[in-house]
Each structure stands twice: as C-alpha cells, then as structure tokens.
Amino acid sequence: MGASLSWFAVRGKEQTLILKHFSLRSIGKVYQRSSYHGGLLPSGWFLVIHGRHEFTDAEVKQLSQAAEVVACFVEEHVMVSKAACWKNGQEVWSVTHDAQESLHHLEAQGELPLGFAAIRDRLTKQQEEEDDCDFIFDIPVSLAAEITGYRHDETRKETFETFVRPSFFEGLFG
C-alpha cells in the first residue's frame, strides 16, 4: 500500500481559524478513524493532514490569506508528488513530479527555496545511479519537509490530534 494524502503546514494564523477553514474540530489525541489529523509541529507550523485528497491551488490560496502555507501532496500508487508554498494568497513556488509523464519528470517554478538545488541535485544523482527506483518523487516531499520539519513517511514522536467534521446537529447547536 502507498500513501495518498495532502498535508498543509500553516504559519501565521491561529489554529482555530485553520480548523475553521477546513470545517473541522479537534477531538484530541485519541485514535478515531478520520481523514483528518494534525497538530502543532516542533518547528512551529500547524499541520493538517487530509487523507485521500489532492490539494487545489484555490484551496491553498484561500488558506494562505494572512498566512504562509506549505502544502504537499503524495500519491504513491502512481508516483505523483507536489509541494507548493503560498503567502498572503499568492503562490511563491511549486515543485511537481509525475512519473506518469516520465521517471525524470520535474516541474519547478517561482522563487524556489535555497535548499531546492541541493535536494534536486542529490536525488537526481541518486536516480542516475539507481534507475530502478523513483528518487525524483522525493524532491517535492523533501523540500516541504526541509521547510516545515514534517514528512508523511517518517515515524513521529508526538501523537497528532484527530480532527472531525461536526455533524449537522453539532454545527447547529455547537
């Protein structure tokens, strides 16, 4: 099995407003089957993980109003990954890999972070040395992780909160 999810790391916006953007509420650090998890990262970013979802530019644009957002999407079943940074409703940069286009496919645009070139060069070299694995897939993921301190495929010491969407009646009556 492979991961299929988007995650959003937000800085500069209150947690209550971030959860409100997604129409979510926290039920605490308990396990419950939900498409949403997250919490405050040691790096200071607030994380929302949305399982089985591909983020859209419109979604990140709205979330980034008066804030900074790093969004990352991974679909390991077809080896597609994307990371993007938005500030105050404007896209700053984005990096996309789609193995369905080519094993070496990489599209990068905008004001890329300083760490991008080193990550790209290291993983491109690794791809050239071991062509039986898709290392280019990891470029957007590694870039987002370098900035926020979060990777979807690493074991976390902290336990994330579970977020749920309130039922119709909870929405009406609180």
| pLDDT (tens digit per residue) in 101-123 | 999 999 999 999 999 999 999 99
- 145, amino acid identity: A
* 20-35 mean pLDDT: 91
Task: Quickly state the pLDDT bin for 173 (edges 50, 70, 90).
Answer: low
Residue closest to 123 by CA, chosen among 147, 145, 106: 106
Q: What is the mean pLDDT of the chain?
A: 94
**Beta strand ranges found along 13-79 (DSSP E):** 25-26, 36-40, 46-51, 68-75
Q: Does the structure show a pLDDT above 70 at 67?
A: yes
Cα–Cα distance measured from residue 30 to residue 27, given in angstroms and rounded to the nearest whole number: 7
Residue closest to 12 by CA, chosen among 57, 50, 69: 69
* 91-105 mean pLDDT: 97
Q: Does the structure show a pLDDT above 80 at 158?
A: no
